[in-house]
């Protein structure tokens, strides 16, 4: 039974990934308005009901999944590459470059990430591209500090010192010797980053700084549904459950990966 429960988070994440990948085959109509079905409750005709404009909640929920996961994975890849590059170069070369990069990361860490992202999104304006840019600007710091710490831990190991003594270039040492050693913690950090980015995107959309109408997003669905919470609570509950299930599934997968990749265990 315990082993079966371990596959539940992966099943939830795979379900939403399949929805996103095969969305063109689902023939969704998230923006079709039907005023005769305004605030329709879940039933046989529409199994998740309709919103304040008679639009299908299920269609908008599946379309919103594409936005949330697209933003999360895009920002994760950008911040992973930028943060890892900065952290590795900072620890490897040291000196004034390391000091300068650490002061920059300290400045970013002095501000709460989500507040800085809100400020940047407000300056850049709403839109999915600006959301990706705003979250990328504040998201690389965690990867940079993690990569730096790992490189400082491994750079004095015997095989690294031997490679440097033999005249191996820094590029080859970093690519072929150091990056494989720090890949496991970076992968684990990436899984938790995805969960945080999904929440951040939903928060920005809830504030009106993310995806704009009529395009659906889980955050904007919760914002719009909160106006009718007393008469149509399903408009808030359904996207909230979807958001909670994906974030919880990703966090549990990250915990499982950390347990499996922990060499001490």
What's the sign of the alpha-carbon dihedral 12, 16, 17, 23? positive
What CATH number does residue 84 fall under?
1.10.3720.10
Residue 40 in any domain: the answer is no
What range defines the domain where residue 203 resides?
58-261
The stretch 183-189 carries a mean pLDDT of 90
Of 245, 244, 223, 217, nearest to 235 by C-alpha is: 223
12 within domain boundaries: no
Select from 80, 111, 116, 72 the least CA-distant residue to 219.
72
What pLDDT is attached to residue 3? Answer: 64
Q: Tell me the average pLDDT of the chain.
A: 86
pLDDT at 243 over 90: yes
Is residue 193 a part of any domain in this protein?
yes
* Cα–Cα dist 170/94, whole Å: 13
Confirm whether 7 is domain-assigned: no
Query: In the chain, what is the greatest distance between 2 CA atoms, to the nearest angstrom?
Result: 77
Domain-located, residue 145: yes
Q: Is residue 11 part of a domain?
A: no
Task: Tell me what pLDDT residue 265 has.
Answer: 46
- For the chain, what is the domain count? 1
Average pLDDT over residues 141-169: 87
End-to-end CA distance of the chain: 22
What is the reported pTM?
0.89
Does 23 fall in a domain? no
Q: Quick one: pLDDT at residue 118?
A: 85
Q: Does 24 map to a domain?
A: no
**Over 90: is that where the pLDDT of 85 sits?**
yes
């Amino acid at each position: 039974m315990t082993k079966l429960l371990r596959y539940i988070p992966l099943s939830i994440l795979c379900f939403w990934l399949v929805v996103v990948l095969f969305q063109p085959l689902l023939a969704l109509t998230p923006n079709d308005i039907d005023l005769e079905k305004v605030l329709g409750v879940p039933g046989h005709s529409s199994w998740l009901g309709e919103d304040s404009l008679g639009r299908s909640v299920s269609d908008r929920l599946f379309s919103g999944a594409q936005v949330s996961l697209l933003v999360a994975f895009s920002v994760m890849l950008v911040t992973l590459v930028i943060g890892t590059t900065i952290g590795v170069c900072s620890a490897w070369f040291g000196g004034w470059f390391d000091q300068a990069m650490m002061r920059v990361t300290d400045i970013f860490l002095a501000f709460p990430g989500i507040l800085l992202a809100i400020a940047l999104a407000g300056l850049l304006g709403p839109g999915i591209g600006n959301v990706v840019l705003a979250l990328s600007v504040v998201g690389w710091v965690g990867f940079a500090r993690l990569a730096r710490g790992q490189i400082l831990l491994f750079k004095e190991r015997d095989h690294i010192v031997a490679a440097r003594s033999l005249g191996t270039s820094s590029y080859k040492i970093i690519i072929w010797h150091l990056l494989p050693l720090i890949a496991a913690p970076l992968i684990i950090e990436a899984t938790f980053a995805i969960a945080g980015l999904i929440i951040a995107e939903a928060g920005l959309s809830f504030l009106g700084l993310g995806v704009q109408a009529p395009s659906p997003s889980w955050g904007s669905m919760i914002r719009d549904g909160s106006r009718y919470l007393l008469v149509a609570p399903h408009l808030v509950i359904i996207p909230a459950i979807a958001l909670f299930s994906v974030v919880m599934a990703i966090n549990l997968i990250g915990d499982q990966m950390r347990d499996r990749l922990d060499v001490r265990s």
